[in-house]
Amino acid sequence: MRTVLSLLMSHRHRLMRRFFAMMGLLFALGFAFPVSADGISRLRSFMESTRSGQADFVQQVTSREGKTMTPLSGRLWFMRPGQFRWDVQKPYKQLIVADGHEVWLWDADLNQATVKAQQKALGASPAAILSGDIQKLDADFKLVEGGTSESLEWVDAFPRTKDIGFERIRLGFSGTELVRMELKDSFGQLTHITLSHFDKAPIRSSADVFQFRPPAGADIIRE
């Protein structure tokens, strides 16, 4: 009986020695094991490290009744603090530009531009997360861990200001990169935004990117 127990213990010790030897080999070869990071930490890290950027986007809206609308696609730019450009290219042309003081909404088909004070227009919005100041993040949003799904780490941001049109903004991170945003508005609509080709390099000619000059003859509405 003792011989059998001795053999079992000896076999177990050999397995343990092999296990630790393999772990040591992996570390010696430079293998890094992934460390779990929560969504809130990733959001803060993104805002601290990404001072400017640009990316392609695809936006899909689903109504409260479950009807899916025609997707929009285009490109966005942002620079902290407070500068933002959202350029819809398909299926029609539309442009939103925030210069730090005012926000312009340009509809090419209508030849019409609407301009608002930026703080009033953006407030606690997705654009405020992309282009805003990290010092205001907790003042503008209540942050809640969103867990892991679709291989992304999520965080839910609930605006502290009421009556801004959004109930919740959900942000999905792959590593340190923001790749998804999901918005639930006050009408029960869900907006899914997928980002790709994210470029964090400094934006050249930012004065041209974040300025809007309406064309001659355009109808301008100030709110």
| pLDDT tens-place string over residues 163-203 | 677 889 999 999 889 999 999 988 889 999 999 999 988 88
pLDDT tens sequence across 91-147: 999 999 999 889 999 998 999 999 988 876 665 577 778 887 788 888 888 999 999
pLDDT, residue 37, reads 54
How much is the pTM? Answer: 0.76
Is the pLDDT at 7 greater than 70, yes or no?
A: no
Nearest to 205 by CA among 105, 49, 85, 118: 85
pLDDT, residue 169, reads 92
pLDDT tens sequence across 36-49: 458 899 999 988 88
Q: Is 53 buried (19+), middle (13-18) or exposed (0-12) by CB count in 10 A?
A: buried
Q: What average pLDDT is seen over the chain? A: 81
Helices (H), the chain: 2-28, 39-49, 118-122, 126-131, 137-140, 206-209
